[in-house]
Amino acid sequence: MLRVDSLSAWYGEAQVLRDVSLDVAAGEVVTLVGRNGAGKSTLLRCVMGLHAGQRGTVELDGRDIGRLPAHRRARLGLGWVPDDRGSYATLSVAENLTLPPTVGPDPWSLERVYEAFPALYARRDSPATTLSGGEQQMLALARVLRMGARLLLCDEPTEGLSPLLVQQVADLLHEAKRHGVTVLLVEQNLHFATGVADRHYLLAEGRVVEAMDNSEVRSRERELLSYLGI
Amino acid sequence: MTGFLQNTFNGLVSGAFYALLALGLAVIFGMLRVVNFAHGAFYMLGAFGAYVLLTEAGVPFWAALVIVPVGLGLLGMALERAFIHRLTRLDPLYNFLLTFGLTLILQDLVKLRYGVQSSPYATPSALGGSVNLGLFDFPTYRVFILGFAVLVCVAVWWLLSHTRLGMVVRAATERPELTRAFGINVGRWVTPVFGFGIGLAGLAGVLAAPMRAVNPLMGADLIIVVFAVVVIGGLGSIFGSVAAGFGIGLVQAWGEAYLSDFPIVSQTVVFVVMAVVLLWRPAGLFGREEAPA
């Protein structure tokens, strides 16, 4: 579904991605793991079309989207879940949910979102930034599901969440996967990653240094954790 | 007591002009991150538009109230496409140079044709005379301005808070990049929003024509206070600009009435308020601190 080929990216003079290539098949959940500054978030931003200084190929369903502006990519089915959760202070919770147009064949209805997240329903008319951190994370995920996005790009969706909420994010991603949604996520939490994902790419200094499956991550957990510095 | 009410009423009427102008500046700044120093020139063009339409073509006030803002809005959109949009990638200094340069050009073009003396514009006959609002008589035209400006502000607020278009504008104002990532072509809305802000300035100008002296510098005199209003309300805050507009109108009117023995104080009171507000709340009364990018 998503193919990234020899992607390089820069911030000014500094090169943050070097010839990154990876594939994500339809219906797969794939994580990007790596230390802070390894280029994981930049990679997601390049796929979304939010990073200006890049070279290489980004293909969605065989179509080169590398030159499309972000809003066109979103309309092709990319769902953006930013690391800061992307809550709008000047929009109510309901408006945050309905801001993006529906872009996919299987969008969640607002009723379904509210049924799954009673907290969002209760606060639907309040500014989104008055929600708790966990609720804002649910809002960010619910928003792209309501869009009907086919490929979710999630930047550390579990960061700063309690174990209970982490489990809720995992359940949500499982459910999305059951409905054929593809997910590419940046994740530091290896337990979470092996629980929801099919495969993992390890990034270091802007390169993909390893592609691993779940059993490999589990068997090398200690080594990986110390490598990630967690 | 009557004197106080009269001063208050007059303050609200001046405030109505500040509010309409600050509202346009706020909408434009929010969407484009451009401070439009030419806003006063468009206000002046609004008044001259009404004057020219009446004297050259016999177009009455009521028609001018629609034609002039729409026409200036279209002119604004053309200028945005031709010049303003180039500012987004440039140092803010160019923002000042371009819009201030535009002000000088527009002012001098009008001077070239009409000179610097004031041109009279008769109050529309339906709004002549005065109305009794209880305690004393108010000039009908001023009552009309106040009511009309409040109506326009409420309409803009409704548009921004209750329509999908307004939601998109708010989202794009708060976080343009994120909004693009949600499938919204933010760039498409920039030109109409600029035109809309200019149209509001033009509308204020038409309203001012029968009440204020119509001359090429009328905008330059007003705009300095309007910038103080925008800063006090919070740059880019819609509600803040309107509230501060009316508030500053009041402060100014009261200052002139009760501090007339101290002209230095009454002339600078607006800027003293601005300085105090900035010390207390650097982002303005209703502004939010810029989130780190």
Q: Averaged over A34-60, what is the pLDDT?
A: 92
For range B112-136, the mean pLDDT = 85
**What average pLDDT does this structure show over A94-119?**
93
Digit-coded pLDDT (tens) for B7-60? 999 999 999 999 999 999 999 998 999 999 999 999 999 999 999 999 999 999
Rounded Cα gap, residues B237 and B98, in angstroms: 23
**ipTM at complex level:** 0.92
**Structural domain includes residue B179:** yes
B122 lies in some domain:
yes
Domain containing residue B194? 18-219
Closest by CA to B25, choosing from B86, B88, B76, B74, is B76
Number of residue pairs across A and B with CB atoms under 8 Å? 66
- Residue B9 within a domain: no
Q: How many CA atoms lie within 13 A of B2 on its CB side?
A: 7
Q: Do A99 and B182 touch (CB under 8 A)?
A: yes
Nearest-angstrom CA–CA distance, B192 and B28: 10
Instruction: Name, in order, each residue with C-beta under 8 angstroms of A91's C-beta and a sequence gap of 6 or more.
Output: A99, A127, A128, B167, B170, B171, B174
Token pair 């010839």: residue? A19
The answer to whether position B249 is within a domain reads no
Distance (Å) from the C-alpha of residue B190 to the closest C-alpha of chain A?
15
Maximal CA-CA distance, chain B: 59
pLDDT surpasses 80 at B288: no
Instruction: Please determine, for residue B291, whether its predicted confidence score (pLDDT) is greater than 70.
Output: no
Predicted local confidence at residue B289, as pLDDT: 64
pLDDT digits 0-9 by tens, B79-99: 999 999 999 888 889 999 999
d(CA A157, CA B48): 57
Residues of B within 8 A of A99 (CB-CB) are 167-168, 171, 179, 182, 184
Query: Are the CB atoms for A94 and A86 separated by under 8 Å?
Result: no
Supply the pTM of this predicted model.
0.87
What integer best gives the mean pLDDT of chain B?
Answer: 91
Does any domain span residue B275? no
Query: Which domains does chain A show, CATH number per domain?
Result: 2-85+150-228 (3.40.50.300)
Q: How many domains does chain B have?
A: 1
Give the phi and the psi of residue B132 in degrees, each rounded to 5: -95, 115
Q: Which of B204, B207, B199, B202 is nearest to B73 (CA)?
A: B199
Lowest mean pLDDT among A199-208, B31-40, B278-287: B278-287
Q: Residue A36: its pLDDT value, please?
A: 86
Query: Does B63 fall in a domain?
Result: yes
Helices (H), A92-162: 93-98, 110-116, 118-122, 133-147
Q: Residue written as tokens 């390089």?
A: A8
pLDDT in tens, B183-199: 999 989 999 999 999 99
Residue A24 contacts residue A198 (beta carbons within 8 Å): no
- Of the partner residues B174, B177, B183, the one whose CB lies closest to the CB of residue A101: B183
Instruction: Determine the residue among B179, B182, B239 to mutate to test chain A binding: the one whose Cβ has the most chain A Cβ atoms within 10 Å.
Output: B182
Does the structure show a pLDDT above 50 at A123?
yes
Task: Specify if B110 maps to a domain.
Answer: yes
- pLDDT grade, residue B293 (50/70/90)? very low
In this complex, do A88 and B175 lie within 8 Å of one another by their Cβ atoms?
Answer: yes
C-beta atoms surrounding B163 within 10 Å? 11
pLDDT of residue A230 exceeding 80: no
Inside any domain, residue B215: yes
